[in-house]
Amino acid sequence: MKAMAYGIARPHVMRRRSCALLLSGSLCLAMGASPPAGAANAAAPKAQAQQIEIRNFAFAPKSLTVRAGTRVVWTNRDEEPHVITSAGSLFASSKGLDTSDSYAVTFSKPGTYAYYCSIHPMMVGTIIVQ
């Protein structure tokens, strides 16, 4: 089974707050990416998703430059699980990603987002949002 986990960069979390006020927290969780994220999607219209492969204990590409609003999707191609973790907690961490699991974060605010695997910390990568 392919489990999809969705995280979101902090700026979107702020923007989503008005939506979250209308919906109970659990409902937001239960609905996952679709309706509440609609607000985020509206703010960042149809930017293409950028893919990062996790293979042989490395992120490829290791450094990725994207435009604000881009959705970045990591997919684990290793037999080992990995955990996407923002250095400085600028975006939410993924769950443990088993083989073929993916995790997505939409980056709405320009900046440099360093991240690593919390259980294999020598695995580091950077998202540069312009």
Partner 1 sequence: MQDNHDNEAGGRRQFLKCMAWAGAGTLWLMKGGVLHAHALGEGAKAAATDASFSFAQISDSHIGFHKEPNMDVVGTLRASVALVNAQAARPDFLLHTGDLTHLSKPEEFDTLAGVMQESHTRKVFYVPGEHDVIGDNGAEFFRRFGERQQAGGWYSFDHRGVHFVGLINVLNLKAGGLGSLGAEQLAWLKKDLAGLSAETPLVVFAHMPLWPLYPSWGWGTDDSAEAMSYLRRFGSVSVLNGHIHQIQQKVEGNITFYTARSTAYPQPAPGVGPGPGPMKEIAPGALHRYLGIRDVRHVQGKQVLAVTEEVLS
Q: Count residues contacting partner 1 (CB under 8 A)?
A: 24
Least Å distance, CB 122 to partner 1, is: 4
Distance CA 20, CA 87 (A): 26
Residue 18's alpha-carbon distances to 2, 12, 130, in angstroms, are 31, 11, 26
Shortest Å, Cβ 61 to partner 1:
16
**Among the residue ranges 20-28, 39-47, 65-73, 93-101, the one whose residues contact partner 1 (CB under 8 A):** 93-101
Q: Which of 22, 30, 34, 79 binds partner 1 (CB under 8 A)?
A: 79
Cα 31 to chain centroid, rounded: 17
Written as six digits, the tokens of 93 are 């961490």
- The one-letter amino acid at 93: S
Q: Is 95 near partner 1 (CB under 8 A)?
A: yes
Q: Does 87 bind partner 1 (CB under 8 A)?
A: yes
Q: Could you give the CA distance from residue 55 to residue 30 in angstroms, rounded to a whole number? A: 31
Please choose, from the candidates 111, 118, 107, 125, the residue with its C-alpha nearest in 3D space to the C-alpha of residue 52.
125
Binding mask 55-74 for partner 1 (x = CB under 8 A): -xxx----------------
Sign of the torsion angle spanned by Cα atoms 46, 31, 51, 130: positive
Touching partner 1, residues 98-127 (CB under 8 A): 98-99, 114-116, 118-124
Footprint of partner 1 on this chain (CB under 8 A)?
56-58, 78-81, 83, 85, 87, 95-96, 98-99, 114-116, 118-124
